[in-house]
């Protein structure tokens, strides 16, 4: 959202609240503090668990004190009930076909040895992250704020693979297919299509995450990494890349992961906006990792607020903290520099000097001056996508 | 020193691969879904594609909401549900996970 759009959005939001409240969707802060499940999934610590089939796991808030999300705490989201329970890395390969000069079948070993190896640190976030903030609830999983994470991904540039195959001149769209399967033959496969012009050298076919093989549930042995984009296009267990000249109509492209195609990307529950567009790039967002809601902190002790901020890769300029419900804002210290697609971790020290409830708010601002709106000013959309309201935790000073 | 490094690299590689050489077992979670009239149809149709976690996660919702969910499963995900089962499932969902509102 451009800055100008943001102001428009704010105006529209206040109009909605002042005027016909009946037709307006309302946005609050997403559900927080859900319980960690007692089930540990393969290669994962127990996380917030919504489903075992397909597996849906969310990272708890405390994970976001770190600029890299540990693999065993990284969120998990699959779409189909049937994911292979066995992968033989010695036999795994990806096929590249369609409008190419040479069909390729690249083994995992060849991917690791016959191409230039590159790394990128990038945030992976579900487009529906924080969906539980929207009311009435749009369908879909009612995520809190933990359907996101940041990792250092290692692999091979997609462009190098496509160069090796040789694109024909009619090539326009690239389809990506993973190994998850539906229960019914007629159910649409989870195929994503991207236009050739959307793909730059930062897009990689990755086999490593934070120095380890990809965890099974994060797409072992190979997944697509598209820095700056929401995770719906980061196809897991990538098995096939098909080049076409035409866009194929697909459920997961035409119906899911889309927002209203208007300046504020919003609509009302009663009247959905007719045309939609893919969610594509991420808006500016931050999440506080520490302290957590309801924490008891001793009066006048040295408290360090920590969290992470990111956007689509324009880069985070500032993270501001407010302790007075948004009246005044102070700069937090920004720590790491792992590149423009990475979590930028922030910290802010203060000594709570009044007893009782203290609310801590964090607001990220990127290099274009785009900043997070208040939770109530995030506009409603029927898929519950792209929530990026200012994060807030309330502690008890005792 | 270099030899040592290579050795470490070699070891870590095999250790990582070993994790996924065998079959992966995703735990089965017995969701506490309410029993009642129509549950058999829910069990037979919904569970083919997803756990009951999906239903429970939606919270208490209107009849229209559940109707649209069933419709989505049929239209977009091609669930082969008989008209009778659709009605039964809607009745079940609204009775046990409804918010008392039609819309």
Q: Please answer yes or no on whether A184 and B80 come within 8 Å at the CB atom.
A: yes
Residue B9 has pLDDT above 50, yes or no: no
Q: What are phi and psi of A168, to 5 degrees?
A: -75, 160
Sign of dihedral through CA atoms A30, A35, A39, A44?
positive
pLDDT at A59 over 70: yes
Q: Which residue has the higher pLDDT, B2 or B89?
A: B89
pLDDT at position A162 is 97
Is pLDDT above 60 for A200?
A: yes
Q: Which of B17, B24, B76, B102 to mutate to test the interface with A (most CBs of A within 10 A)?
A: B24
CA–CA separation, A65 vs A63, rounded Å?
Answer: 6
Q: Is A184 left (phi over 0), alpha (psi -120 to 50) or beta?
A: beta
Domain count within chain A: 2
Regarding whether A288 and A259 lie in a shared domain, the answer is: no
Q: What are phi and psi of A158, to 5 degrees?
A: -60, -40
Chain B interface includes A142 (CB < 8 A): yes
CATH number at residue A355: 2.60.40.650
Question: Which residues from chain A sit within 8 angstroms of residue B49, using beta carbons?
Answer: 80-81, 182-184, 187
Please list every residue in chain B whose beta carbon sits closer than 8 Å to the beta carbon of residue A221.
20
The radius of gyration of chain B's CA atoms, rounded to the nearest angstrom, is 23
Q: How confident is the model at residue A254 (pLDDT cuts 50, 70, 90)?
A: confident
- Give the integer Cα–Cα distance in Å for A150 and A382: 27
Last residue of a domain, one of A241, A262, A278: A278
Q: Are A251 and A292 contained in the same domain? A: no
State how far the Cα of A319 lies from the Cα of A348, in Å rounded to an integer: 10
Q: Are A147 and A157 in contact (CB under 8 A)?
A: no
Give A50's contacts in chain B (Cβ within 8 Å): 53-54, 57
| Nearest Cα residue to B19 out of A380, A214, A73 | A214
- Tokens 């239903």 -> residue: B55
Q: Find the range with the poorest average confidence among A170-174, A190-194, A350-354, B51-55.
A: A190-194
Last residue of a domain, one of A278, A299, A325: A278
Q: CB of A288 within 8 A of CB of A307?
A: yes
Residue-number span of the structural domain to which A78 is assigned: 48-278
pLDDT at A62: 98
Residue A283 and residue A26: Cα distance in Å, rounded?
19
Sequence-ordered list of residues with C-beta below 8 angstroms from that of A221, at least 6 positions apart, any chain: A87, A89, A92, A108, A207, A213, A214, A237, B20
Query: Rounded distance, CA A15 to CA A17, Å?
Result: 5
Find the range with the poorest average confidence among A90-94, A247-251, A390-394: A247-251
pLDDT tens figures, A306-331? 999 999 999 999 999 999 999 999 99
- Mean pLDDT of the region A361-389: 97
Give pLDDT tens digits for A234-243.
999 999 999 9
Which of B26, B72, B79 is nearest residue A184 as measured by Cβ atoms?
Answer: B79
Are residue A393 and residue A249 in the same domain, yes or no? Answer: no
Which of B21, B97, B92 has the alpha carbon at shortest distance from B57? B97
* Domain harbouring A265, CATH code: 3.90.420.10
Higher-confidence position of A246 and A106: A106
Q: Does B11 touch chain A (CB under 8 A)?
A: no
Query: Which of A226, A261, A278 is where one domain is finished?
Result: A278
Which of A51, A142, A216 minimises the CB distance to B24? A216
A265 shares a domain with A304 = no
Q: Is A224 helix (H, G, I), strand (E, B) or coil?
A: strand
Residues A125 and A200 in one domain: yes
In a shared domain, residues A115 and A136: yes
What's the whole-number mean pLDDT along residues A48-65?
Answer: 97
Both A60 and A165 in a single domain? yes
Q: CA-CA distance, A261 to A281, in Å (whole number)?
A: 14
- Whether residues A192 and A73 share a domain: the answer is yes
Residues A263 and A298 in one domain: no
Predicted local distance difference test score (pLDDT) of residue B21: 57
Whether A209 and A344 map to the same domain: the answer is no
Q: Is A246 on the interface with B (CB under 8 A)?
A: no
Higher pLDDT, A23 or A33: A33
Nearest to A81 among B50, B58, B80 (CB): B50
Q: What is the DSSP letter of A267?
A: -
The answer to the question of residue A325 being in a domain is: yes
Q: Cβ of A200 under 8 Å from any chain B Cβ?
A: no
Q: Is the pLDDT of residue A18 over 80?
A: no
Q: Is the pLDDT of residue A253 over 80?
A: no
Q: ipTM of the predicted structure?
A: 0.86
Answer yes or no: do A49 and B29 touch at CB < 8 A. yes
Residues A311 and A274 in one domain: no
HEC profile for A357-381?
EEEEEEEEEECCCCECCCHHHCCCC
A392 within 8 A of A361, measured Cβ to Cβ:
yes
pTM, two decimal places: 0.90
Looking at every residue in chain B, the average pLDDT score rounds to 84
Q: What is the pLDDT of residue B20?
A: 54
Residue A28, C-beta contacts closer than 8 angstroms, at least 6 positions apart? A133, A135, A375, A376
- Cβ atoms within 10 Å of B86's Cβ, excluding its own: 18
Classified by CATH at the fold level, domain B39-97 comes out as: Cytochrome Bc1 Complex; Chain D, domain 2 (1.10.760)
In the predicted structure, residue A288 carries a pLDDT above the cut 60: yes
Nearest CB neighbour to B20, from listed A49, A216, A255: A216
């Amino acid at each position: 959202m451009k800055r100008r759009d943001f102001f428009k959005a704010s105006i529209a939001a206040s109009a909605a609240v002042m005027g016909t409240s009946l037709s307006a969707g309302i946005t609050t802060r997403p559900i927080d503090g859900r319980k960690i499940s007692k089930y540990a999934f393969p290669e994962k610590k127990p996380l917030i668990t919504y489903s075992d089939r397909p597996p849906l796991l969310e990272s708890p808030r405390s994970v976001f004190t770190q600029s890299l999300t540990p693999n065993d705490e990284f969120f998990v989201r699959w779409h189909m009930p049937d994911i292979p329970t066995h992968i033989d890395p010695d036999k795994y390969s990806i096929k590249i076909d369609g409008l190419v000069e040479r069909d390729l079948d690249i083994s995992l070993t060849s991917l690791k040895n016959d191409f230039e190896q590159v790394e990128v640190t990038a945030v992976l976030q579900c487009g529906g992250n924080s969906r539980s903030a929207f009311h009435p609830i749009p369908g879909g999983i009612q995520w809190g704020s933990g359907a996101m994470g940041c990792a250092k991904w290692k692999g091979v540039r997609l462009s190098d693979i496509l160069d090796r195959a040789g694109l024909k001149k009619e090539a326009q769209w690239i389809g990506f297919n993973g190994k998850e399967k539906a229960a019914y033959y007629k159910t649409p496969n989870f195929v994503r299509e991207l236009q050739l012009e959307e793909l730059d050298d930062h897009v990689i076919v990755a086999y490593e995450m934070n120095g380890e093989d990809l965890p099974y549930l994060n797409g072992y042995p190979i997944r697509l990494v598209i820095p700056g984009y929401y995770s719906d296009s980061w196809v897991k267990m990538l098995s096939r890349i098909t080049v076409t000249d035409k866009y194929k109509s697909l459920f997961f492209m035409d119906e899911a992961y889309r927002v209203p195609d208007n300046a504020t990307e919003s609509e009302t529950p009663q009247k959905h906006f007719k045309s939609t567009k893919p969610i594509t790039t991420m808006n500016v967002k931050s999440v506080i990792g520490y302290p957590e809601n309801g924490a008891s902190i001793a009066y006048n002790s040295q408290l360090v607020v920590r969290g992470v901020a990111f956007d689509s890769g324009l880069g985070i300029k500032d993270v501001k903290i407010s302790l007075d419900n948004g009246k005044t804002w102070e700069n937090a210290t920004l720590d790491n520099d792992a590149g423009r697609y990475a979590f930028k971790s922030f910290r802010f020290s203060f000594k709570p000097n009044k007893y009782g409830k203290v609310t801590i708010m964090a607001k990220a601002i990127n290099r274009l001056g785009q900043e997070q709106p208040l939770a109530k000013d995030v506009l409603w959309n029927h898929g519950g996508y792209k929530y990026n309201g200012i994060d807030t935790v309330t502690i008890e000073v005792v | 020193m270099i030899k040592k490094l290579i050795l470490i690299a070699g070891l870590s590689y095999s250790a990582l691969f070993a994790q996924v050489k065998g079959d992966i077992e995703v735990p089965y979670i017995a969701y506490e879904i309410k029993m009642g009239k129509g549950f058999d149809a829910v069990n037979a149709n919904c569970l083919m594609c997803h756990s009951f976690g999906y239903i429970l996660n939606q919270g208490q919702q209107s009849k229209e909401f559940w109707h649209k969910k069933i419709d989505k499963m049929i239209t977009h995900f091609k669930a082969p549900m008989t008209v009778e089962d659709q009605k039964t499932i809607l009745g079940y969902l609204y009775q046990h996970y409804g918010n008392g509102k039609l819309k």
